[in-house]
Structures are given as structure tokens and as C-alpha cells.
Amino acid sequence: MALPLCSRCRISLKHISPKPLPLALVLTRSIHLPPSAPRRTLTSATWDPKQPPVMLNDYPQPQRDLEKLPLAVLLRGIIMQSAMSHPLLMDAASAMARKNIHMLTRNALLRFFLDKIFYAQFCAGSTEAEIKNTVSSLKALGYKGVITAYAREVDHSNVTEHSTTAEQQSAHQEHVAQWLQGTLKGIQFANSGDFVALKFTGAGPECVRLLEAGKEPDLVMADAMDKICETAKAQGVRLLFDAEHHVQQAAIDAWTMDLMETYNQNGDLVVYNTYQMYLKESTTTLAKHLERARSGKFALGVKLVRGAYINSDPRHLIHDTKRETNAAYNNAARILATQHLNDPSAPKVGVMLATHNAESIQMMRTLRQEQVQKQQPLAEVAYAQLMGMADELSLSLTQRKNNVDEENIQVYKYTVWGTMDECMMYLLRRADENRDAVDRSLLSQQALWRELRERLFPSSISA
Ligand SMILES: Cc1cc2nc3c(=O)[nH]c(=O)nc-3n(C[C@H](O)[C@H](O)[C@H](O)COP(=O)(O)OP(=O)(O)OC[C@H]3O[C@@H](n4cnc5c(N)ncnc54)[C@H](O)[C@@H]3O)c2cc1C
């Protein structure tokens, strides 16, 4: 059967997919996306939270951001993005997976799809060789480094009740030991200058209980935390403590700040805390932590995120609108990047903008370009996106560093490692996130398809 030509770009479907026609049609659907909205130029001076947000398409893209992406990764990205842009399909798959992860991963065909497409897209691997291979291929693309996290999560809905305190204590020690071992392995896989991300709740149910009761870490936990920080410091690896559910967050902040006070001395940045800017209280929390770092004379490590628990955290604690969250995020980023300019006693900060939001990144880049032009000292700022997502954004940032007006932009990719079973909860969250971020997924699809077209028909992309 002759394969039809796409009526708008004249690409024969056989060039796009050797698969049977229905899949090829599904895959090509994404080529023709709505044209970009008119561009609005954003500078740090003109940035105004009351104005309508800059559309994602406004991010000024060079022609071939994805040029360096290996073909297999490009095709895998297209398949993933196409599958994820079907909310009904993703809802059904995610509901099925949540109900019976173990059965799903035992089905050979599904396991093949999950392994070769889904797992490969977002996860670094499970053995040292696989992880190191993924890390070096990411660095070969121009990223400054990687953020790795051990994917194993404790299933808190399935916690065994122990009848005696001794049994409970022994189970707690075992959970913490597993968490410690996994984290130390992650540090060992990382290179100097890389980051390791970790969750306190990964240390088991007793640790969750301590966090939710607002208690200090007990001796078992405190000992593990010290071992992790000391190993990371000795290897030049930095630690990003994740933000989690709001009910645990006050204790996470307190534990992480205590670690910073110990390990971020003399300008060292070993420990970073995460700030969820969708929470109304986060601007105040950040101001208090800056003040504590100033008076305690230690460096403040800040990973800035919008927040991933909007469906479970109490809604009244979260900004009422996305625009308010955006404004809080951009405002915090701006404060962190400028607080040292007029205040000689300002603490040193290390900022990681962990976001796929092009507006926030553009705002920070413009601000720093202005600082470079005025020959002002720059705060330490890096950008991070998840592996398998927003590659066009990450790679476009890595290509900016030759511009004379720009700083050397540091971009990191975040990836988890572990067996497929260990990574399942993380993979499900990625599916949810993609389903909720339709505009951004469309932009990513558009960029991937443009790159494929350019490879099939060089110069088909007009200026
Ligand atoms: C490297 C990396 C590390 C991360 N680590 C963490 C972590 O430790 N803890 C954590 O919680 N999250 C973490 N995240 C996820 C992050 O919080 C966001 O959920 C995700 O990145 C999407 O937000 P965005 O900034 O990329 O952009 P966008 O897609 O522009 O923003 C989406 C976000 O806006 C907020 N939002 C959406 N609708 C509304 C609304 N109606 N009202 C108010 N706010 C709204 C939500 O936070 C939502 O996730 C991480 C993300 C990355 C890239």
C-alpha cells in the first residue's frame, strides 16, 4: 500500500515511522501545532507579575536546539510525547498501573514498552555501568552535570505494624540503613560537581512519623544524615533535599537548615533545601532562612520549585492561581540573584532553578545578562530540568554560553536510578505531570518534530 503524504508538510509517513499506518498517523498528528503567539519581550526591569504571563512559545529558540540529540533519543521522545498528549490514554494507563504495578511489570509486552521507552526516557539505569553511561551521554550533550536520585520509595500505605518497641526500632534501623546505603551508592556514582537528590521520607515510616510530628531526627537518622553529608562533602558532590508533602515540610526545613549550618561553612555549598513557591508561606520561609544564613554565617543552598503536591496539599495553603505561583517563583528567584548587590553582609547563596517554565528561565537570563553588562558580581545560579522532559529548553540554554554578553550557563539534568519496579512511582508522577502540562508538552512535541523534519529534509525549517 502506498503511504500517503501529509497534506501540509509533504512528509511521507514512511519517513516518520516504519510502524503500521495507525501509529504513524498518531505520531504525525503532532507535527501541526498552533502557530506561536505574538512575542512579548521580558526584561527584569519590565517584569510585572500583574501582566499576562509570557507564553511558552515566546522563548526565543535557535533553529536546531535538538541537533545533538541522538536519533534514538529523538524518536523515543516523539513516541513518549505523543502518547502522553492523549489524556484519556494516560488516565487509563496510570489508573491501571496504580492498581496493579506488579502484575503490569510481569506482562512481557508491557514490560518491553515500559523498559525500552518509558523507563529509558526518564531513568538512568539500575547498574553502575548503565548509570555512568547515561550520565556521560548527558554530559556529552553539553550539560554541566547531572542530579541523580535513588528511585526507591517506601510504600507508606503498606506498613507492617510491629507489636513491640524493639521490633519497631529494629525495622526503623533497617529502613534507615537501606536509605543510607542507596544514597551513598548514588554519591559514589556521581562525579565531583554533580548533585544527588534525596527525600527524607525514603528513610521509612518511623522517619515519616518524626517529620509529621515536627520532631528532631532521632540518633539513627541523625547519624545517617551526617554520614551522607560527610561523604558528599569529601567527594565534592552536593545534596538537594527534596520538598515533600506540606505536613512534613516544617520538619524537612528544620532538619535541612541544621545540616546547612554544619556543612555549608566557609563558602562551601554541600546542602540545598527545596522551596515550593506555590505555598503562600514560602516567600516568608525563604526570607527567614536568608536571615538565619546571614547571622549564622553559612551559605544558603536553594532549590526553587513551584511544587508537585497540588493535588494532595491543603488547597488553601497554595496560591489561588497559577499566575500568583508564577509571580512568587519569579520574585524569589530575582531576590536570590540580587540580594548580594546592595548588602555586603548578605549570605552567599547557591540557587538551582528547577523548572521547565520558559518564562522564569528567560526572566533570570535577562536579569543576569544585565548584571554582566553592568559588570556586577553574579550570584551562583544553575538551571535544572528532568531527563526526558523539556530537552529543547535545556539544550537551548547550553548553547547560549558562547554569547559574549552571557554568563557561562550551568544546566543540569535530573534523573533517577533503580530497577524498573523501584522507578514505577516516579514514572507515574511523570505521566501525571505531562498530562497536566499540556501547553508545554505541545511545545516539546513541536520542537522534536521540527528536529526530525530537519534531519529528514535538511533546511526544511525556514528562518
Ligand atoms: C529538577 C527538578 C526537581 C524537582 N524537585 C521537586 C521537589 O523536590 N519537590 C516538589 O514538590 N517538586 C519538585 N519538582 C517539581 C516541580 O515542583 C513542578 O511540579 C514541576 O517542575 C512543574 O512546574 P514548573 O516550574 O516546571 O512549571 P509550570 O508547568 O509552569 O508550573 C506548573 C506548576 O504550577 C503550579 N500550579 C499549577 N496550577 C496552579 C494553580 N491553579 N494555582 C497555583 N499554582 C498552580 C503547580 O506547582 C504546578 O506544578 C522538581 C522539578 C524539577 C524540574
Q: What pLDDT, in 10s, does the model give residues 298-328?
A: 999 999 999 999 989 999 999 999 999 999 9
Q: Return the residue whose CA atom lies nearest to atom 37 of ligand 1.
A: 322
Band of residue 90 on the pLDDT scale cut at 50, 70, 90 = low
What is residue 445's predicted lDDT score, i.e. its pLDDT?
Answer: 86
Q: How far apart are CA 278 and CA 243, in angstroms?
A: 12
255-274 per-residue burial string, b: 16 or more CB within 10 A, e: under 16 = bbbebbeebbeeebbbbbbb
- Assess whether the C-beta atom of 308 lies below 6 angstroms from ligand 1: yes
- Assess whether the C-beta atom of 384 lies below 6 angstroms from ligand 1: yes
Q: If you measure from the C-alpha of residue 305 to the centroid of ligand 1, how many angstroms do you get, rounded to a whole number? A: 6
- Assess whether the C-beta atom of 322 lies below 6 angstroms from ligand 1: yes
Point out which residues pair with 240 in neighbouring strands. 197, 272
Domain ranges for the chain:
1-30, 43-68+123-155+166-435
Q: CA 441 → CA 3, 7, 57, 84, 193, distances in Å?
A: 28, 24, 12, 8, 30
Q: What percent of the chain has pLDDT over 70?
A: 76
Ligand 1, atom nearest to 412 Cα: 1
What is residue 156's predicted lDDT score, i.e. its pLDDT?
Answer: 60
Tell me which of 305, 413, 435, 444 to substitute to probe ligand 1's pocket, judged by most ligand atoms within 8 Å of the beta carbon.
305
- Assess whether the C-beta atom of 438 lies below 6 angstroms from ligand 1: no
- Assess whether the C-beta atom of 125 lies below 6 angstroms from ligand 1: no
| Alpha helix (H) residue ranges in 153-218 | 165-189, 205-212
What does the DSSP assignment read for 326-380? Answer: HHHHHHHHHHHHHTTTS-TTPPPEEEEEE---HHHHHHHHHHHHHHHHTTPPPPE
Ligand 1, atom nearest to 241 Cα: 8
Would you say residue 48 has pLDDT above 50? no
Q: If you measure from the C-alpha of residue 274 to the centroid of ligand 1, how many angstroms do you get, rounded to a whole number? A: 12
Q: If you measure from the C-alpha of residue 257 to the centroid of ligand 1, how many angstroms do you get, rounded to a whole number? A: 22
- Assess whether the C-beta atom of 330 lies below 6 angstroms from ligand 1: no
Residue 439 DSSP label = H
Would you say residue 386 has pLDDT above 50? yes
Phi (first) and psi of residue 448, to 5 degrees: -65, -45
Q: How far apart are CA 367 and CA 377, in angstroms?
A: 12
What is residue 92's predicted lDDT score, i.e. its pLDDT?
Answer: 66
Half-sphere exposure of 390 (CA within 13 A, CB side): 28
Would you say residue 98 has pLDDT above 50? yes
Q: Return the residue whose CA atom lies nearest to atom 21 of ligand 1.
A: 355
Mean pLDDT is lowest, of 2-6, 188-192, 361-365, for: 2-6
228, 154, 244: which is closest to 195 by C-alpha? 228
Q: How far apart are CA 266 and CA 107, in angstroms?
A: 53
User: Would you state the cell numbers that stand for residue 140, as one nine-digit string?
Assistant: 556529552
Q: If you measure from the C-alpha of residue 246 to the centroid of ligand 1, how many angstroms do you get, rounded to a whole number? A: 14
Q: How far apart are CA 39 and CA 43, in angstroms?
A: 13
Would you say residue 443 has pLDDT above 90? no
- Neighbouring CB atoms inside 10 A of 435's CB total 18
Ligand 1, atom nearest to 360 Cα: 25
Q: Give me Rg for the CA atoms of the chain.
A: 23
Quick one: how many helices (H) and strands (E) in the chain?
18, 8
Q: Compute the average pLDDT of residues 139-168.
A: 80
Phi (first) and psi of residue 42, to 5 degrees: -120, 125
Higher pLDDT, 439 or 185: 185
Mean pLDDT is lowest, of 99-103, 245-249, 263-267, 418-422, for: 99-103
- Assess whether the C-beta atom of 277 lies below 6 angstroms from ligand 1: no
Q: If you measure from the C-alpha of residue 150 to the centroid of ligand 1, how many angstroms do you get, rounded to a whole number? A: 20
Phi (first) and psi of residue 196, to 5 degrees: -120, 130
| 320-330 pLDDT, tens digit each | 999 999 999 99
Helix (H, G, I), strand (E, B) or coil at 277: coil
Q: How far apart are the two ends of the chain, measured CA to CA in Å? A: 35
Would you say residue 113 has pLDDT above 60? yes
- Assess whether the C-beta atom of 312 lies below 6 angstroms from ligand 1: no
**Kind and range of the H or E run holding 383:** strand 380-386
99-134 per-residue burial string, b: 16 or more CB within 10 A, e: under 16 = eebeebbeeeebeeebeebbbbbbbbbbeeeebeeb
Higher pLDDT, 218 or 6: 218
Q: CA 213 → CA 13, 121, 207, 327, distances in Å?
A: 58, 37, 10, 32
Q: What percent of the chain has pLDDT over 90?
A: 62
Mean pLDDT is lowest, of 21-25, 136-140, 404-408, for: 21-25
Q: How far apart are CA 30 and CA 446, in angstroms?
A: 7
Burial of 319 (C-beta count, 10 Å sphere; 0-12/13-18/19+): buried
What is residue 19's predicted lDDT score, i.e. its pLDDT?
Answer: 36
| 155-205 pLDDT, tens digit each | 565 555 666 788 889 999 999 999 999 999 999 999 999 999 999 999 999
Mean pLDDT is lowest, of 52-61, 251-260, 440-449, for: 52-61
* CATH topology (fold) of 43-68+123-155+166-435: TIM Barrel (3.20.20)
Ligand 1, atom nearest to 318 Cα: 43
- Assess whether the C-beta atom of 305 lies below 6 angstroms from ligand 1: yes
Higher pLDDT, 19 or 357: 357
